[in-house]
Structure 1
Amino acid sequence: MEELPYALMSHSGGSRGFPKNYETIVKKHFQILYMEEYSKNKNVYAPKIQALLLWWHLPILDKQLLDSLPNLKVIASSGAGVDHLDLKLIKSYGILVSNTPGVGNDSTADMGMTLMLASAKNVVKGNTISCSSDTKEFDFNWVGDDITEATLGIIGMGSIGYCIAQRAKAFRMRILYHNRNRRTLEEEAAVGAEYCSNMTDLLQRSDFVMVVVTLTPETHNLIGKEELQFMKPTATLINISRGQVIDQDALAEALNKGIIKAAALDVTHPEPLPRNHPLLTAKNIIVTPHIGNATDKTRRRVAEKIVQNASAMLKGLPVKDIVTAP
């Protein structure tokens, strides 16, 4: 029986390593080698490693590591985003790269809706009040916001953004969207979405603004002080893309000054934020620890996808998730 190729991974278990209960998925196609063992026996293992499987928290992927892996042919990365990879450097070694777009669309879209609903309905504050030992009575004149028939502005109508629009339609929301490329008229009609060629127009009209863009140099600080000023003072900003897409200092100021009503973030930069960061004590904010697609079903599918991609690339089979260098 032919020996399975070696795949290098960061580490096993814990809060940031590859889940032990997913290792059987990898072992169907690869022999797993973790960084600690590799570092101790580089001379033995370096020539054997053909694949690098990147879970959510990866080893330092730099020239030094790539130079030490003479037979590395493929890098399979979890998640759709590849902003953590130096694609030009990797390509210079002739190494193929794949990602897992689409696998987490539904769970991430669910998270976007969850954050919007939780913020609008004061779920986090309500739980604190309900569980507090100091609570003697409830203020029944304390109200939140309606989602149903409100206006949702989606910035970034890619696959996840469209999944959000499908969910928002069920709430009879008016859907506006801004995207680099306009969707087809049929796609717009299916969810009742209106295209805004100007993002300012979307910001001014939306009760809820959800950011779902890919992080690129063009989208870095896409939402800054000026953009926040365009939003309604009653509006809520939701970010499920990348923390760098929003000017976090400007957002904290906007919340504290009442420029916008609330914000709900599943992503920040860095993650976690420093404990003294002004966002953590800003008014009307919810921050969650980048758990948009953190479900067992989705994570298993991601693990299966990175393994399938890596195995197929090594065999010279077609893989639709190949990432090209810019």
Structure 2
Amino acid sequence: MPATRLNVIVTRRLPESVETRMKELFDVELRDPDTPMSREELAAALRRCDVLVPTITDQIDAGLIAQAGDRLKLIANYGSGIDHIDVATARQRGILVSNTPGTVTDDTADMTLALMLSVTRRIPEGLAEMQAGNWQGWSPMAHLGGRMGGRRLGILGMGRIGQAVARRARAFGCQVHYHNRKRVRPEVEADLEATYWESLDQMIARMDIISVNCPHTPSTFHLLNARRLKLLKPTAVIINTSRGEVIDENALARGLKAGEIGGAGLDVYEHGTEINPTLRSLPNVVLLPHMGSATVEGRIEMGEKVIINIKTFADGHRPPDQVVPGML
């Protein structure tokens, strides 16, 4: 590596403390205003920097990577999910990719439980009634939701976040079940008091709540497709704080509208900001703007991991959070 400071381009605004530290260590181009870069802007950035720091709003596909300059040696992603980056093509070009795993585990798990409570206890409906000034006083039969305790929770994806969701759900008295690509270690299963289901179909047909906590990969695209959604109990609730592409959003909307699914709490969507309009209109659906990881603490920790990855690389070592295609 050259003795001169690395040129680093950041595609979105980050917490002030993170940007300040980056400016101390590297030659940094910061993004202002805080809007996603166009494809042309991304291509230009890839041609002139040593390190690119993108976020989930940046699609770094094979076509863009092909336009990268010889200087580009590291894509230090700000976030743990890397399905927006063609890691295999980057590797072929000799470009390393890193991410920030573990920084948003608790924040995302907290939001998952918040959505479970919001849907099962009908919190948004009560909030809307109060904000509209329509509340006429307490009634024994008004705003009846369901109790969390005793419900069967099926977790789809028992990684860091799935396990954090399981611990929280147990505190609410839920029975924890899960389906995963590989069964977790017996001691983890025992600690979580979790029941493993090899068959996803059999699990979701028996659950009261399904929580999607797996990444988006080719094998998980539409994992909850129209056929599987029809297996759900009509009172079942779906929560998704992972990736929208895991669920067939149109099929989900149809099932909710037809009363075949009890409710949904969504923080992510199959087509980004283009959300199925049916979902917006249903009272038993809670929609959030991808804010599961949005805490000050989490955002700063993500930035600190990015800096460590870049600094380690600048010192001639492998970034601690390097991603390789075999991990995906």
Q: Is contact 1:176–1:194 with CA below 8 Å preserved after alignment?
A: yes
Structure 1 residue 8: Cα displacement: 1.2
1:27 aligns with 2:27: no
* Partners of 2:78 and 2:14 in 1: CA distance: 11
* Partners of 1:315 and 1:63 in 2: CA distance: 30
Residues 103-112 or 131-140, more deviating: 131-140
* Partners of 1:119 and 1:306 in 2: CA distance: 35
3-state DSSP of counterpart to 2:297: helix
1:308 aligns with 2:304: no
Q: Which amino acid aligns with 1:116?
A: M
* Partners of 1:21 and 1:126 in 2: CA distance: 38
Q: Which amino acid aligns with 2:264?
A: A
3-state DSSP of counterpart to 2:300: helix
3-state DSSP of counterpart to 2:25: coil
Structure 1 residue 103: Cα displacement: 1.1
Alignment partner, residue 280 of structure 1: 280
* Partners of 1:152 and 1:65 in 2: CA distance: 41
Alignment partner, residue 225 of structure 2: 224
Q: Is contact 1:256–1:283 with CA below 8 Å preserved after alignment?
A: no
Alignment of 1:73-152 (within 5 A): 73-142=73-142, 143-152=144-153
Alignment partner, residue 290 of structure 1: 290
Q: Which amino acid aligns with 2:177?
A: L
The runs of at least 4 consecutive aligned structure 1 residues that moved more than 4 Å come to 59-66
1:241-300, CA deviations, whole angstroms, 9 ceiling, x for partnerless residues? 1111111111111111111110000101222225x6222113410010111110000000
1:22-67, CA deviations, whole angstroms, 9 ceiling, x for partnerless residues? 311322321212478xx99x99x966x3211113433766645664
1:143-192, CA deviations, whole angstroms, 9 ceiling, x for partnerless residues? 10111121111011011101111111212211110000001111111010
1:110-154, CA deviations, whole angstroms, 9 ceiling, x for partnerless residues? 111110011111111111112213333344303101111211110
Taking only the aligned residue pairs, the percentage that are identical comes to: 33
Which ranges of structure 2 fall in alignment gaps of 5 or more residues? Answer: 33-39
1:238 aligns with 2:234: no
The number of residue pairs the alignment matches comes to 316
* Partners of 1:213 and 1:185 in 2: CA distance: 20
* Partners of 1:283 and 1:35 in 2: CA distance: 38
Q: Is contact 1:220–1:245 with CA below 8 Å preserved after alignment?
A: yes
Alignment partner, residue 14 of structure 2: 18
Q: What's the TM-score once normalised by structure 2's chain length?
A: 0.88
Q: What's the TM-score once normalised by structure 1's chain length?
A: 0.89
Alignment of 1:242-253 (within 5 A): 242-253=243-254
Which ranges of structure 1 fall in alignment gaps of 5 or more residues? Answer: 12-16
Q: CA distance change for structure 1 residues 211 and 30 in 2, over 3 Å: closer, same or farther?
A: same
3-state DSSP of counterpart to 1:116: helix
Q: Which amino acid aligns with 1:33?
A: E
Q: Is contact 1:98–1:323 with CA below 8 Å preserved after alignment?
A: yes
* Partners of 2:304 and 2:239 in 1: CA distance: 30
Q: CA distance change for structure 1 residues 61 and 185 in 2, over 3 Å: closer, same or farther?
A: closer
Q: Is contact 1:63–1:89 with CA below 8 Å preserved after alignment?
A: no
